[in-house]
Amino acid sequence: MRVHGEVSDDEVAAAAAAVAGDQVPLSPPPASAAQLRLVVGYALTKKKVKSFLQPKLLALARKKGIHFISIDETLPLSEQGPFDIILHKLTNKEWQQVLEDYREEHPEVTVLDPPNAIQHLHNRQSMLQEVADLNLSNGYGEVCTPRQLVIMKDPSSIPDAVAKAGLTLPLVAKPLVVDGTSKSHELSLAYVEASLPLLDPPLVLQEFVNHGGILFKVYIVGETIRVVRRFSLPDVNTYDLGNNDGIFRFPRVSCATNNAEDANVDPCIAELPPKPLLEKLGKELRRRLGLRLFNIDIIREHGRKDRYYVIDINYFPGYGKMPGYEHIFTDFLLSLVQCKYKRRLSGS
């Protein structure tokens, strides 16, 4: 006997075979599935297709009447579909213009998310500005952003720029542009002033905040929030500052391989941020950014239980690493169409 909504091994195996052949099952749902037939067109990189359109998601979606159809970028978008929803994560300007034109011609189609809203997260200078403008503080804590400085060119000018801005070492250096490549998520750590000219602009320099080596990835899917722990950079002490004089480079720090969910960590460090605080932050950022699919990287200042820093925001993150993502995402897609249907009935 299966619980409603569960997916059998045979269904998962069939979906896996479809993914292996670069095809998504498009056949009609069984008679027992919901009456609603929801068509989701997707324009994703091959890497994103593999990580997001996992067999478990495809099988569950099919049971709920949701069909994923690959969009062919070589053909006019208006000649494909029809779609109820378009899901995308392509960064080239040509595609963004195609999608903006399509939105004007087909306002009835939900685009996740609008290209002009996503652009805000492609630049680390503007990315955190909405968080800083929030000045969010309530009985559960305060949410800040690290002090930061943008360097566009001339590495030799960095020491003077840092001194003028009053930033305190050590500093985390991140590429200014976020373009979806692994390189755009690489970090460098500079302990001393003499190492700063070794950095490679354009970049953003952020003051390093000790946080117990734990980062919280806050996944946003519409109004749903899920949090997972990841290992991060370790705290920096006086010894580190006096004995490290180069640039230390790190690959993507908060990836799934750095999972800290079951690690033996000090409870004060591992404790998740308060849910009401995250709900307030998520709601405000959804409204300000105009996005429904993103994640927030948050750290808690070591020794300050109620002070949190947002250090990064990513559009359409690796949801496949989020526990139970297939249920959360399919419910979200259905809710979009149901809300649209209710608005039609009400005449609004």
- Residue 271 assigned as binding residue: no
The answer to whether the annotation marks 64 as part of a ligand binding site is no
297 marked as part of a ligand binding site: yes
318 among the known binding-site residues?
yes
SS3 category, 81: coil
Instruction: State yes or no: 212 annotated in a binding site.
Output: yes
Strands (E), the chain: 38-43, 66-70, 85-88, 110-112, 137-138, 141-144, 148-151, 171-175, 187-190, 203-207, 214-221, 224-231, 247-250, 293-300, 307-315
d(CA 158, CA 150): 10
- 320 in a known ligand binding site: no
Question: Any binding-site annotation on 193?
Answer: no
Q: Is 63 annotated as a binding residue?
A: no
| 208 belongs to an annotated ligand binding site | yes
Helix, strand or coil for residue 41? strand
Query: Is 153 known as a binding-site position?
Result: no
Q: Is 174 annotated as a binding residue?
A: yes
Residue among 28, 25, 112, 19 at smallest CA distance from 68: 25
The answer to whether 195 touches 245, Cβ cutoff 8 Å, is: yes
Nearest CA among 76, 75, 71, 100 for reference residue 87: 71
Mapped onto helix, strand or coil, the DSSP state of residue 286 is helix
- Report whether 216 belongs to an annotated binding site: yes
The annotation status of 185 as a binding-site residue, yes or no, is yes
Residue count of the chain: 348
* 23 marked as part of a ligand binding site: no
Instruction: Tell me: is residue 222 an annotated ligand-binding position.
Output: no
Q: Give the closest residue to 212 by CA, choosing from 267, 259, 254, 269.
A: 269
Whether 123 has a binding-site annotation, put simply, is no
Q: Is 314 annotated as a binding residue?
A: yes
Structure tokens at 172: 């985390």
130 appears as a binding residue in the annotation: no
157 is in an annotated binding site: no
Is 213 marked within a binding site?
yes
β pairing state of 38-43 and 85-88: parallel
Annotated binding residues for Mg(2+), written as ranges, equal 297, 312, 314
Annotated binding residues for 1D-myo-inositol 1,3,4-trisphosphate, written as ranges, equal 48, 89, 185, 217, 314, 318
Annotated binding residues for ATP, written as ranges, equal 124, 174, 206-217, 232
Annotated binding residues, written as ranges, equal 48, 89, 124, 174, 185, 206-217, 232, 297, 312, 314, 318
